[in-house]
């Protein structure tokens, strides 16, 4: 089957890029399943249920999140009503929402998606490795699911890479989010798991990781507080990955996608 994964969608520019490009990409690439990370979609901070529904209308099947999931506080009372919108699975068990789910792709395949938050340089939650291990054991690929995908939302590249190798052979794709910069290491690991350290943001790259650049530059150069960061509003680059799997759910192909905006385009040949 064919999967599309897109990294952190930042503000209106990222949402516009998704609306402009995703429906055509689904058709051109014959994508069976689409995941986006939406934790920065609402003004750069969090996501609302209305925005999530707009994404579903575009063809998105599942939305993952991360450490900004609760920035729009109304989501605390709403997330239980939308199982396709995930929060990290290693939050405490009493936290609203779900951190994983089993979904049906366009070709009828069962797709298991797990969303976890790293711990290095992040708020400390439960161990993401134990959490992913438990989830993949609960819904094993080849038995409970045809394809399994892990969104590792983390700061440290080492922690993301360790998660890739930890899941190798047990997941179709392990992909990092949160850093907002697309990495050049898309690969298939020895056991057959597709991996990329960070999918990159869907954002205006004339920015500082998707945010209008003057305020963060001032913070770094003066060490003085500035006003609230605002998403950059120029043309965004849609950044993500295209993954193709075999009948066992293992990856046979992973290629980066970059379309629109300032970054050099990258598209898989079909």
Catalytic positions are 68
Beta strands in the chain (DSSP E): 2-6, 33-37, 62-64, 100-104, 110-117, 147-153, 173-177, 187-188, 194-196, 238-245, 251-259
| Burial category of 206 from C-beta neighbours within 10 Å (exposed 0-12, middle 13-18, buried 19 and up) | middle
* Residue (of 67, 58, 110) closest to 88 by Cα position: 67
Distance CA 40, CA 67 (A): 10
Distance CA 81, CA 234 (A): 33
Distance CA 76, CA 96 (A): 6
Distance CA 238, CA 262 (A): 10
């Amino acid at each position: 089957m064919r999967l599309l994964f897109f990294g952190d969608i930042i503000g209106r520019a990222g949402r516009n890029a998704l609306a402009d490009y995703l429906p055509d990409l689904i058709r051109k690439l014959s994508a069976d399943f689409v995941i986006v990370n939406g934790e920065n979609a609402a003004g750069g901070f969090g996501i609302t249920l209305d925005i999530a529904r707009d994404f579903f209308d575009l063809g998105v099947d599942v939305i993952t999140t991360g450490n900004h999931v609760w920035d729009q506080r109304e989501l605390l009372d709403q997330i239980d009503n939308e199982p396709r919108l995930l929060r990290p699975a290693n939050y405490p068990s009493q936290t609203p929402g779900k951190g994983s789910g089993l979904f049906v792709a366009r070709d009828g395949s069962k797709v298991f998606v797990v969303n976890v938050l790293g711990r290095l340089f992040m708020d400390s939650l439960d161990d993401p490795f134990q959490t992913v291990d438990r989830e993949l054991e609960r819904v094993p690929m080849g038995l409970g699911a045809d394809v399994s995908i892990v969104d590792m939302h983390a700061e440290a590249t080492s922690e993301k890479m360790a998660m890739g190798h930890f899941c190798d052979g047990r997941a179709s794709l392990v992909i990092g989010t949160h850093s907002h910069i697309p990495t050049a290491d898309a690969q298939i690991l020895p056991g057959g798991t597709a991996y990329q350290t960070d999918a990159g943001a869907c954002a205006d790259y004339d920015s500082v990781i998707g945010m209008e650049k003057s305020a963060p530059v001032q913070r770094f150069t003066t060490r003085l507080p500035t006003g609230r960061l605002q998403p950059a509003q120029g043309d965004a680059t849609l950044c993500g990955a295209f993954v193709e799997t075999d009948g066992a759910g293992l990856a046979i192909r992973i290629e980066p996608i970059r379309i629109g905006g300032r970054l050099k385009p990258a598209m898989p040949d079909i």
